[in-house]
């Protein structure tokens, strides 16, 4: 049982032992550490109990190069069910729990959606009582910290471990060696407890840190070769130094390949060794383990498991391949052909010669399988894992596993029809869909306690916390004016809280009575932040011309990081900020229009933004967004979507009603039909107002600081570039339709009760998008796992 006095004592002890001071003398970050360590002491017995309970049971292992966990403290207190007690204990010591929670650095070990999905999955796995553990990399520096200088993105290293990480334990006793062509390194696991809701199951996130086998050269040091004495240490530690801030195409980076093999090899060695230590046979490995590959980043698991089974344990090739395939499963996250991961053979051969040999053998086996299916000669090329000097990680993943899943219905259908069609033709039984989800614990209960309380009151139960389908019970209130008014009041409270935060950290005032129209996600051309920006500028000009007399006041909020090497994305950030300074400094549009680009968008900021949104911007080019999960967080917090029929937006609209959202734009098949003949000059010249905003990129309206970035954006829309057609993402083609949908938003928003009805329909339809549902599907249909 939870004992407040004990917690207080432990906290004092950690203040003394970790910082040599009394609690009163600590700063907020130190207090956070002392408190978290005290909570960790409460968790460890539960953690041990789970491990013992799960012994001998089948486990699922989620392999992911990214886990975007965000902050742990608030989530852990909630899942342990000791929020109120913690507040009391801290209060009694003169500390404010909110200050302590705000002092925590995000664990930002991921780029965006893919990494956050992994984090939501772990929460659902533990909350449902599944033995589901995460395996990844303990980056010393996570996703970079973003600041904005003169409107442009500036990156800085994210030193998230500066004050230590109270939530992980170093398990040197379970370290393993990983070998590269230039020698072995030590992989040291750091384990973090993943506490399920209710505290009954505590699973593990195991992240590997690279270290030198011999971290210090005593002889070199004595010989006054100081650099030489730490060379091995520095080289080894470089492997897990930093997360690649890259969520689009993978640049051929030797270090990234090292990272992939490093964590996959360490994880497989660890899992296999424990399996054998427990007295199980090699043959039974797939009966006790299901390994899910989160995209192709861990695809080297296929040849690595083959290596361990055949070369280390002496199993024959065919049986080993059968075991490998039955153990592994693959999740595809993209339809962008250019984003399918490939590696130059040259790099593979150099870094991992043995693994390369196994991949060659797998490729030869593939050819023989294809022959037996009547696919010969050139017709084999589109399947070949090794071809044209590249290793095709997606083909390796499909061929070497028993399951390939997409992440939304549309995405899976498109995979089967286009990019992966040839694979679907020969292995239809391997393909399946697992529509993504989000955890309602973090994204509703924790980040929006006000709305949570209303939902619980209306449903007469808090059962939705573990059974989100219960939200359907809210349907009965869509005509209840009293409930709709309360919903609006809660939204206003969340908007006031966000406004206060934005005033504090960005120094900008925003009006909680304006529409909060929010687009938060990684900056990418296909996500079309530029379409949003063009519409804002058009609206601005129309207001100035007296053309938009009775518009509903709007605050447009953006949050996005651009990959540091992605020039065009950075140009778009600069452009949005130029529009913001123009609009926000104009007395004529004051009170009507405001634009805010919030800096350093991340999980902890997201928790403040989603609950405060009136409108969710999901405006990707149809067919390009595999699923999206931000769209689900908005929906759950009662924001209707303005969006295209793309990714999970389609399922969101199915669940909440098209009439309760603002759908616009070209559909996948329409784009398919017109893409050969599309000329963006047509909308550019014919859609009223469009030329004016597009030309703002080059006519001197804005200043890109002499970088040429705005001219380049303009060219990308109208001239194209060697590597793509003009307006590759159909921004100009969709502009008119988007503007119309936005007009509709403004109109409907004025009828506050009718708008609230749409919000409620979104909340009540969000049940499907719980990651609990997703994880149950993985467990039942791919992993054959019991809870």
**Residue 769 corresponds to which tokens in the numbers above?**
């998008």
Task: Tell me, yes or no, if 524 is annotated catalytic.
Answer: no
The answer to whether 112 contacts ligand PLP (rule: CB under 6 A) is yes
Q: Which range, of 73-81, 296-304, 598-606, 733-741, touches ligand PLP by CB under 6 A?
A: 598-606
**In the set 10, 116, 535, 608, which binds ligand PLP (CB under 6 A)?**
116
| Total binding residues toward ligand PLP, as defined by CB under 6 A | 12
Distance separating alpha carbons of residues 570 and 707, to the nearest angstrom: 11
The answer to whether 406 contacts ligand PLP (rule: CB under 6 A) is no
**Residue 690 corresponds to which tokens in the numbers above?**
């469009």
Q: Which range, of 90-98, 449-457, 493-501, 629-637, touches ligand PLP by CB under 6 A?
A: 629-637
CB 136 within 8 Å of CB 149: no
Distance separating alpha carbons of residues 178 and 234, to the nearest angstrom: 16
The answer to whether 629 contacts ligand PLP (rule: CB under 6 A) is yes
Least Å distance between CB 528 and ligand PLP?
12
Task: Tell me, yes or no, if 192 is annotated catalytic.
Answer: no
Helix (H, G, I), strand (E, B) or coil at 229: helix
**In the set 406, 628, 640, 665, which binds ligand PLP (CB under 6 A)?**
628
Least Å distance between CB 620 and ligand PLP?
9
Task: Tell me, yes or no, if 527 is annotated catalytic.
Answer: yes
The answer to whether 606 contacts ligand PLP (rule: CB under 6 A) is yes
- Spatial CA neighbour of 271 closest among 322, 206, 202, 209: 206
- Return the number of the residue (113 or 193) whose C-beta is nearest ligand PLP: 113
DSSP 614-675: SEEEE-PPTTT-S--SHHHHHHHTT--EEE-S-TTHHHHHHHH-GGGSEE-S--HHHHHHHT
The answer to whether 775 contacts ligand PLP (rule: CB under 6 A) is no
Alpha-carbon torsion (736, 741, 747, 749), positive or negative: negative
The answer to whether 113 contacts ligand PLP (rule: CB under 6 A) is yes
Instruction: Classify residue 30 as left (phi > 0), alpha (psi -120 to 50) or beta.
Output: alpha
Q: Which range, of 335-343, 488-496, 627-635, 654-662, touches ligand PLP by CB under 6 A?
A: 627-635
Least Å distance between CB 630 and ligand PLP?
3
Least Å distance between CB 106 and ligand PLP?
9
The answer to whether 602 contacts ligand PLP (rule: CB under 6 A) is yes
CB 751 within 8 Å of CB 488: no
The answer to whether 603 contacts ligand PLP (rule: CB under 6 A) is yes
The answer to whether 608 contacts ligand PLP (rule: CB under 6 A) is no
Check 392, 522, 535, 608 and give the catalytic one: 522
The answer to whether 611 contacts ligand PLP (rule: CB under 6 A) is no
Task: Tell me, yes or no, if 249 is annotated catalytic.
Answer: no
The answer to whether 134 contacts ligand PLP (rule: CB under 6 A) is no
**In the set 416, 521, 594, 739, which binds ligand PLP (CB under 6 A)?**
521
The answer to whether 402 contacts ligand PLP (rule: CB under 6 A) is no
- Spatial CA neighbour of 160 closest among 241, 95, 237, 253: 241
Residue 657 φ then ψ, to 5°: 95, 125
- Name the residue with the smallest CB distance to ligand PLP: 630
Task: Tell me, yes or no, if 633 is annotated catalytic.
Answer: yes
Residues whose CB is less than 8 angstroms from the CB of residue 644 and which lie 6 or more positions away in sequence, other chains included: 618, 619, 620, 621, 622, 663, 664, 665, 666, 667, 734
Helix (H, G, I), strand (E, B) or coil at 169: strand
Distance separating alpha carbons of residues 220 and 375, to the nearest angstrom: 59
Least Å distance between CB 601 and ligand PLP?
6
Q: Which residues make beta-bridge pairs with 132?
A: 60
CB hemisphere CA count around 176 (13 angstroms): 18
Least Å distance between CB 426 and ligand PLP?
32
Residue 548 φ then ψ, to 5°: -130, 55
- Spatial CA neighbour of 459 closest among 444, 471, 447: 471
Task: Tell me, yes or no, if 629 is annotated catalytic.
Answer: yes
- Spatial CA neighbour of 109 closest among 205, 43, 252: 205
The answer to whether 683 contacts ligand PLP (rule: CB under 6 A) is no
Check 275, 392, 521, 624 and give the catalytic one: 521
Q: Which residues are catalytic?
A: 333, 521-522, 527, 629, 633
Binding region for ligand PLP (CB under 6 A)? 112-113, 116, 521-522, 602-603, 606, 628-630, 633
């Amino acid at each position: 049982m939870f004992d407040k006095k004990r917690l207080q004592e432990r906290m004092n002890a950690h203040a003394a032992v970790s910082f040599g001071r009394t609690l009163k003398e600590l700063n907020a970050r130190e207090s956070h550490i002392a408190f978290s360590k005290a909570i960790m002491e409460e968790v460890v017995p539960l953690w041990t109990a789970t491990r013992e309970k799960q012994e001998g049971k089948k486990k699922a292992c989620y392999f992911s190069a990214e886990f975007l966990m965000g902050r742990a403290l608030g989530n852990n207190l909630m899942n342990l069910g000791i929020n109120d007690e913690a507040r009391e204990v801290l209060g009694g010591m003169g500390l404010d729990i909110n200050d302590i929670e705000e002092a925590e650095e995000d664990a930002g070990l991921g780029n965006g959606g893919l990494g956050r999905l992994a984090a939501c999955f772990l929460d659902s796995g533990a909350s449902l009582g599944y033995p589901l553990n995460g395996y990844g990399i303990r980056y010393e520096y996570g996703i970079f910290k973003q600041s904005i200088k003169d409107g442009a993105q500036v990156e800085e290293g994210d030193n998230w471990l500066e004050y230590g990480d109270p939530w992980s334990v170093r398990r040197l006793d379970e370290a393993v060696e990983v070998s590269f062509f230039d020698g072995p390194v030590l992989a040291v696991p750091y384990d973090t407890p993943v506490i399920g809701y209710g505290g009954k199951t505590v699973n593990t996130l195991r992240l590997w840190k690279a270290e030198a086998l011999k971290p210090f050269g005593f002889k070199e040091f004595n010989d006054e070769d100081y650099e030489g004495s730490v060379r091995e240490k520095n080289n080894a530690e470089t492997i897990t130094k930093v997360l690649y801030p890259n969520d689009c195409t993978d640049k051929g980076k030797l270090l990234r390949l090292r990272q992939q093999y490093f964590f996959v090899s360490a994880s497989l060695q660890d899992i296999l060794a424990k399996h054998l230590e427990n007295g199980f046979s090699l043959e039974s490995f797939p009966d006790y383990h299901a390994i899910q590959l989160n995209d192709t980043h861990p695809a080297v698991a296929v040849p690595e498991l083959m290596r361990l089974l055949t070369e280390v344990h002496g199993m024959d090739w065919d049986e080993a391949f059968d075991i490998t395939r039955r153990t592994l499963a693959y999740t595809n996250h993209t339809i962008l052909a250019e984003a399918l991961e490939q590696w130059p053979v040259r790099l593979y051969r150099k870094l991992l010669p043995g693994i390369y040999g196994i991949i060659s053998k797998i490729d030869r086996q593939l050819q023989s399988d294809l022959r037996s299916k009547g696919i010969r000669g050139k017709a084999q090329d589109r399947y070949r894992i090794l071809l044209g000097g590249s290793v095709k990680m997606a083909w390796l993943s499909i061929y070497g596993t028993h399951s390939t899943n997409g992440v939304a219905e549309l995405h899976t259908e498109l995979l089967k029809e286009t990019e992966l069609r040839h694979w679907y033709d020969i292995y239809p039984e391997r393909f399946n869909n697992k529509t993504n989800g989000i955890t309602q614990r973090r994204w509703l209960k924790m980040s929006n306690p006000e709305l949570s309380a209303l939902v619980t009151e209306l449903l007469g139960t808090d059962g939705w916390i573990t059974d989100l389908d219960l939200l359907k019970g809210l349907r009965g209130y869509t005509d209840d004016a009293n409930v709709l008014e309360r919903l609006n009041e809660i939204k206003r409270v969340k908007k006031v809280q966000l406004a206060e935060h934005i005033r504090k950290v960005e120094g900008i005032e925003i009006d909680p009575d304006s529409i909060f129209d929010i687009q938060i996600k990684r900056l990418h051309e296909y996500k079309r932040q530029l379409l949003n920006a063009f519409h804002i500028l058009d609206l601005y000009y129309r207001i100035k011309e007296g053309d938009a007399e009775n518009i509903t006041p709007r605050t447009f909020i953006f949050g996005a990081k651009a990959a540091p090497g992605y020039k065009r994305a950075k140009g778009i950030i600069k452009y949005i900020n130029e529009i913001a300074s123009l609009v926000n400094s104009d007395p004529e549009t004051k009170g009507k229009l405001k634009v805010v680009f919030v800096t350093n968008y991340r999980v902890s900021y997201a928790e403040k933004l989603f609950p405060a949104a009136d409108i969710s911007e999901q405006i990707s080019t149809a067919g390009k967004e595999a699923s999206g999960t931000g769209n689900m967080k908005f929906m759950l917090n009662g924001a209707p979507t303005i969006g295209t029929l793309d990714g999970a937006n389609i399922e969101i609209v199915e669940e909440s009603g098209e009439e309760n959202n603002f759908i616009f734009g070209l559909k996948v098949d329409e784009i398919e039909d017109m893409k050969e003949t599309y000329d963006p000059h047509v909308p550019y010249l014919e859609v009223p107002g469009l030329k004016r905003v597009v030309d703002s990129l080059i006519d001197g309206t804005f200043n890109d600081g002499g970088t040429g970035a705005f001219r380049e954006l303009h060219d990308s829309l109208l001239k194209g570039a060697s590597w793509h057609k003009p307006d590759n993402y159909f921004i100009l083609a969709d502009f008119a339709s988007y503007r119309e949908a936005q007009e509709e938003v403004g109109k409907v928003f004025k009828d506050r009760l009718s708008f609230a009805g749409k919000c409620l329909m979104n909340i009540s339809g969000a049940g499907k998008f719980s990651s609990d549902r997703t994880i149950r599907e993985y467990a039942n249909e791919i992993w054959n796992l019991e809870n």
